[in-house]
Structure 1
Amino acid sequence: MSDVAPGAPAQRLASRATSTLQDTPRQRGRRKTLAQRLNPWIRSLHLYCGVALVPFVLLYGVSAFLMNHPGLYRDIQQTPLSSEALQRAALGPVDAQALAVASVAEMNRVSSGRHEFTLIDPQALKGAPLSLLLDSRGADMRQRYMVDLSHGEGRRIAMQENAAGNASARPARMPLAGQILTLPDTSPLAVPLVSQQARLREAIGASERQPLNGKGTLDFTLEDGSGQRFNAQLDLYSGKLKGQPVGQVQPGAGLGETLTRLHKQHGYKSSVLEWVWAVVVDVMACVMVLWGLTGLWMWWQMKRRRPLGGLLMAAGIGLSAALGLGLHAGM
């Protein structure tokens, strides 16, 4: 016979209920908080969302890395340009300080006394780097010519692709903005490069069958007679002057466009900030790929979550494949 009375279980339950009502504040503090009760749900949501989106994470991480290193997936050939040919085409060496001085002098001449511009800190331009990017595109071939105007050196970058053009942002206005400066014959780049197509093609070895465009600027700061300062840009290819008052936000350069430009910024360039940004892009690309792979590992360790996670991952792979193929077909 058992020594336990028939009513003992019921008595124990009643005793537990009574003790619960009489818990001390310290005992009640040991109970699960709202955050503790939500944590399992949040972890599950994080896990399943990660599993479903892992194809996109991997695709974004890999594409960001490849964008930063286009030579890894394109057949890109780089060859040096003839320094002698570049010099014959007035493509360097060019002194940035002398070019800025000549530009300001021409602005004052064209202004005819309406504005009197003064170059701010010309010594800061002494030895400043000047570069020019020439872009030649055909049906299936794109050639870019990187010219270091400061030293009169350059290289040809040839790649097979069907590249689409990019629209340039509308420049902000300042006095004489939008005007093409015709510099004195003794000035560097006195004749706009855009009007020297034959000499440019000969210097860089570009084909006559492909259109040739250029991009490169000389940046300097001006001050007019009233004390108003301007950030000026001289387009090295067209000779056109651009600029805006100091402190004025360029039209169209809002938060959304700024973020878009940051995402598109890629490649290791001469600027320290651009170089650091390229390092960050590489690190983020690697971390995103690592995040996706470790998420898959964590999901696989939880046997109970494999069926639902597998379905979500299959759906993500199917959706990403459909989107990728559809977007590729429309490019």
Structure 2
Amino acid sequence: MNSNDPPASKPIRRSRKARSKVLMFLRRVHLYIGLFLLPWVFLYGATGALLNHVGLFPEAAMQQVDASELADSAWAEFPDQNELAEQVVDAMRVAAPESSIELNPDHPPEFTNEIAFQIEDAGTRHAVHLNPVDKSAWVATFPENREPMEPVLQEIQRVEIDPNPMGIAEQTIPSVLSAAGIETTKTSEPLGWSKLNFLANVDGEPVRVTYVLRDGHLDVTRYTGEDGYSPRAFFVRLHTSHGQPPHWNGRRFWSLFIDAMAIAMVTWGATGLLMWWQIKRTRWIGGIVIAISVVTASVMFFSMMSFYATTKL
């Protein structure tokens, strides 16, 4: 620092130096979080595409069937969305003649997805998808699972435990509600399918046992150390895995990395904005891009809100 600098400039220099250190720290955070979570970035990017496109790197043989090939089949008589909506409304009028029922002209009828069936044939599964809009179809033929679940002790379908663990849990509900300050006279009902999983030996052979607390159902399958998934199904399963089990196991730690990814994505966005703002020559173009992004995201937000409001999916 120049000894001739006026005293007032020293705090300004210190402030700029401190700001530079903070910005450098944020850049390093942006960089090293990205490097550490790089496998998860690739995983969620790739498997997100797999979830969105069933034909991407398929494990099944895909066959397209053009609408012209189905012109002489029963499929040609399938009503379009408007015809089917009118038929449904007519049936509603018959079922409730005292009510006035009319289609909403501001919201055209839409199918939510294709109509699908599956056929099991000697270990091979065929999934038939019918497109009700363009009347085409496609068939996915899945190969025989290389790691099938082999049932053991098939004569045991359900077991009774005394005292019933689900009954004990249900008897605890009033105490939980009372402790939470909630008073109700309504009875509780099971939500979800909590299960107990463990390994055992049957006639000296390792087996996987799944006990369903809700109804005592029991699944016993031979344990070989395989997960029973094809590679594609396994990675898609990783993408959709969510929630936190009550035990500290691999799935629980996986959920922590999901949390880390959520935090990292917000951090990348915030630090990315900060780094963009530091480059003055990109502010104008970047501002336009952000404005377009906000408008596009808003349109998509309200579009999806409307979709879920009308379909409840």
- The normalised TM-score by structure 2 is 0.39
TM-score, with normalisation over the residues of structure 1? 0.37
The one of the two structures with greater contact order (alpha-carbon pairs below 8 A, sep at least 6) is 1
Please say which structure displays the higher CA radius of gyration.
Answer: 1
